[in-house]
Chains A and B, each alone.
Chain A
Amino acid sequence: MNQVGAVGLIAALVFAVYGMITGAAAGKLRSPRMLKSAQRAVLGFFAMTTLAVVSLEYLVLTNNFHSAYVAEYSSRALPVLYKIPVLWAGQQGSLLFWTWLLSIYVAAAVLLNRKKNRQLMPYIIAISMGVGTFFSMVTFSVANPFNELNLASASGVTPYAPPDGNGLNPALQFHSMVAHPPMLYLGYVGMAIPFAFAMSALMTRQLGDNWIRVTRRWVMVPWMFLGIGIVLGGQWAYHVLGWGGYWAWDPVENASLLPWLAGTAFLHSVMIQEKRGMLKVWNMVLVILTFFLSIFGTFLTRSGIISSVHAFAKSDIGPWFSVFLAIIAAFSLTVLFLRLDFLKSENRLDSIASRESGFLFNNWILLAAVLAVLWGTIFPVISKAIENVTVTVGPPFFNKVMIPIGLLLLFLTGAGPMLAWRKTSFQSIKRNFTFPLIFAAVVGGVIFYAGVHRLYTWMSLFLCAFVAASIVAEFYKGARTRMKSSKENFFAALYNLTMRNTRRYGGYVVHFGIVLLFVGFAGQAFRYETQGLMGPGDLLRAKNYLFRCEGISTGQKANYQYETVDLSVTKDGHALTVMHPERRFYMAEQQPISHIALRSNLAQDLYVVTEGTDPNSGKAIIHVIINPLVQWVWIGGMVILLGTILALIPSSIERQMGKLHKDQEEAVAAHHVG
């Protein structure tokens, strides 16, 4: 199967190169035959990467340790569920996985546009296959997952298969870790498609509103996956790393946040172009930036240029990626520059108090956030290069810089939608801000009275109340207006309102999810921690909770040894629950890991970790964290996902335009017949 995988890899590379060249030629010559051939090359590329992925999974599932990759990242005792993620556990496999996901996206783009966007398709194929060429080339030449283990001796080279593999990093043997990397990668990879659309629109000079409407969806889908990936990553960190947090401003976490922020900026400013024909150059820049940051994120994750818990890989793919990033930047900016004349704004701004300028400021803040995160992430490298001093840029830096930016953004989340397109009267600003401000002031007063005295925390919750109230007001006012004009009852009006303009109201739902996220973030200020050594019968108090150690048991499972501490918990003197934090030692991997015990409700999480036994006393080191409001982070993530799905349902104008396209097709067909 190693050879089969290698054949798939080589063939994928050939199909990618062929697709790139034929696609470009089809675009240049406007040849339908060549386009057809290029489209088939895309399907061939997909089939071949699939073949490579299937062969690698087959090798993993059959415990074929003759394969170097399988021996490195898998083991016999690994449960089947965790054998699937072996595919992306290592450098070579994850690059193959990246290539495969790209082939899925491009094949989907080709199949969905069989009859549409014929002029754009050739260059879309050329660009995305160009990206495919790069990734299959890297996979094939420097990070080939199909290398075999051989023993070199005096008598020559003999094949070698170790009896068992090294096994999967136990930190990765966790359920949300099965889904986290694929989601993140789906996010990174997917940004190649909007980039291809943008470049193709520029190259063919088809810069009307067609490409941007199509592209918006192709941004939203990967943006959604990226968001899911980020939240799952936070969940993984929270459950597995054992320090009771979900975000540490780790370089790799930052790398996933960067394209998400840039994509968010695009999803907002794209509305100005669709509705008003403005900001055309800027939107191009954002599409390019989002894709660039996606590749940059992959590069950071995979090159190990910045040390991080995630950067398992330290290898020689760095130069490849640097060159590729330079090519992307040079190519896209050149094409953009050559077409600047075609990107003139169609309209002017009527008033500074308008939705348009609201979006502009939203973009300003989001881009400032991108800059701050990017700068903090790469600063250690810069400092090393210029000053030759190794510095660390960690959470204190990012918290200081990003919290004000985040709060400003939160404010705009509430204030922006209250502005009307083109021109908002001062009267209406006053009227629309009154209710949310009063509500926020009341909430602010209550929480201050309840003991929230830290400025940032208080402001965060104050703004959360403000934004939530403004969203509720938007829905309420919208429904009331619709009730008056179409005589529907409140709920019917609410439903129809939302379905007529899914983008706006889906967007509001996403905003509400952001509010919940910030509620969860604010909770971190009230985190309580305590630690103690516990043997059977020992007690540990954490606020109004009392832990009693009932015993420590040890044992062995298929691939790990464990040591479980049984703790009975009482709250205010009433028996509450029994918790079992566990310490595991994975044998194949020779690594220890904590398995936390968690009891959560909407108000707070009771988070208990054992760090193993203290060698002197033989007692367990127990760490208790009371983590308020953490659940709201996960709930917020879910709400954002639901809002995004809602916004993906076609709005009435999109349905109308779809109809228009069908009419055009029929007219063309009729013209041909008659």
Chain B
Amino acid sequence: MRRTMSASRLLKIVVLGLALASAAMAAQTPAQIGKDIGNKVICLCGCQTSLNDCPMPHCDEKAAERHLISMDLAEGKAEPVILQDLVNKYGERVLAAPPAHGFNLTAWFLPGVGLLIGLFLAITIVRRWHRPAVQAAATPAVPLDGNLRSAVENEMKKYID
């Protein structure tokens, strides 16, 4: 009873959380969009970090990318358009994660496929192990007569405190 209560409550909370999260995503100021983009592209100065995280001071690459983003933002362009502009200028490597199309799809799908294959394997192994176990557990191989049982129990007491 208590279990079902907590489960339904959990579900409610999850649904609510999702709703709120998506609501929060909807309304964004240009500054926020700029920041989001800064996390989605990398700085090309060689630091290999995202544009927001580039630790170099006076980084020309960073300044150039930021400039392009702020120009686009000033024109009121949306996030996908700005990202496309960046890709047009610098190539796909500017994106912090490969876009999900073409060959790059494999980057995104392989971990999931691996997860599923692993799950399938794990379930197969569990089932294969499981089946013949029934008889094995049911019939002890040695009849446990009194002497043997006490010998075993004595030895157990000796070893295990």
Contact = CB atoms under 8 A, between A and B. Distances in A.
Interface stretch (B9-17, B69-77, B143-151): B9-17
Interface string B85-98: 00000011111111
Interface residues of B, number: 60
A278 B107 CA distance: 34
A397 B107 contact: yes
Nearest to B40: A396
Most buried by A among B42, B50, B136: B50
A324 interface: no
B96 A390 contact: no
A325 interface: no
A441 B96 contact: no
B97 A375 contact: no
A400 interface: yes
Contacts of A349: 126, 129-130, 133
A361 B125 CA distance: 11
Contacts of A386: 103
B128 to A, nearest CB: 9
Contact of A393 (B10, B97, B102): B97
Given A278-B129, A397-B97, A652-B160, A375 B2 contact: no
A222 to B, nearest CB: 25
A650 interface: no
B103 A387 contact: yes
B119 A364 contact: yes
A9 B108 CA distance: 45
Interface string B139-161: 00000000000000000000111
Contacts of A375: 107, 110-111, 114
B154 to A, nearest CB: 15
A615 B132 CA distance: 77
Given A243-B55, A349-B126, A438 B98 contact: no
A556 interface: no
A437 B110 contact: no
Contacts of B104: 383, 391
Nearest to B127: A352
B25 to A, nearest CB: 10
Nearest to A308: B48
Given A248-B53, A437-B3, A448-B17, A372 B97 contact: no
B118 interface: yes
Interface string B26-54: 00000000000001101000111110111
Given A405-B115, A448-B17, A434 B57 contact: no
Given A391-B98, A391-B104, A611 B57 contact: yes
B57 A592 contact: yes
Interface string A226-248: 00000000000000011101001
Contacts of B16: 448
Contact of A348 (B2, B14, B47, B129): B129
B96 A395 contact: yes
Nearest to B58: A612
A247 B152 CA distance: 54
A438 B137 contact: no
B21 to A, nearest CB: 6
B53 A379 contact: no
Nearest to B102: A387
A400 to B, nearest CB: 7
Interface in A368-410: 368, 371-372, 375-376, 379, 383, 386-387, 389-397, 400-401, 405
A392 B96 contact: yes
A177 to B, nearest CB: 15
A348 B133 contact: yes
Interface in A354-375: 357, 360-361, 363-364, 367-368, 371-372, 375
B114 A368 contact: yes
A433 interface: yes
A612 B57 contact: yes
Contacts of B161: 500, 652
Nearest to A311: B48
A502 to B, nearest CB: 14
B42 A394 contact: yes
A309 interface: yes
A453 B20 contact: yes
Contacts of A243: 49, 52-55
A344 interface: no
Nearest to A615: B58
Contacts of A437: 3, 6
A454 B17 contact: yes
Given A242-B55, A392-B42, A583-B57, A307 B107 contact: no
A360 B20 contact: no
Contacts of B160: 652
Most buried by A among B6, B48, B58, B159: B48
A395 B39 CA distance: 9
A441 B7 CA distance: 9
B98 A392 contact: yes
Interface in A393-446: 393-397, 400-401, 405, 430, 433-434, 437-438, 441, 444-445
A264 interface: no
Given A360-B125, A383-B98, A394-B96, A309 B3 contact: no
Contacts of B114: 368, 371-372, 375
Given A348-B136, A434-B2, A652-B161, A309 B49 contact: yes
Contact of B48 (A307, A364, A383): A307
Most buried by A among B93, B111, B133: B111
B126 A352 contact: yes
13 contacts: A241-B53, A242-B55, A250-B48, A308-B48, A309-B47, A348-B130, A389-B91, A393-B97, A394-B96, A397-B98, A500-B161, A594-B55, A612-B58
Given A308-B48, A396-B96, 17 more contacts: A241-B49, A243-B54, A309-B49, A349-B133, A351-B130, A363-B122, A364-B118, A367-B118, A368-B111, A375-B110, A379-B107, A383-B104, A393-B98, A397-B108, A434-B3, A453-B20, A454-B17
Interface of B: 2-3, 6, 9-10, 13-14, 16-18, 20-21, 24, 39-40, 42, 46-50, 52-55, 57-58, 91-98, 102-104, 107-108, 110-112, 114-115, 118-119, 121-122, 125-126, 129-130, 132-133, 136-137, 159-161
The 3 closest A-B pairs by CB, nearest first: A394-B96, A372-B111, A348-B133
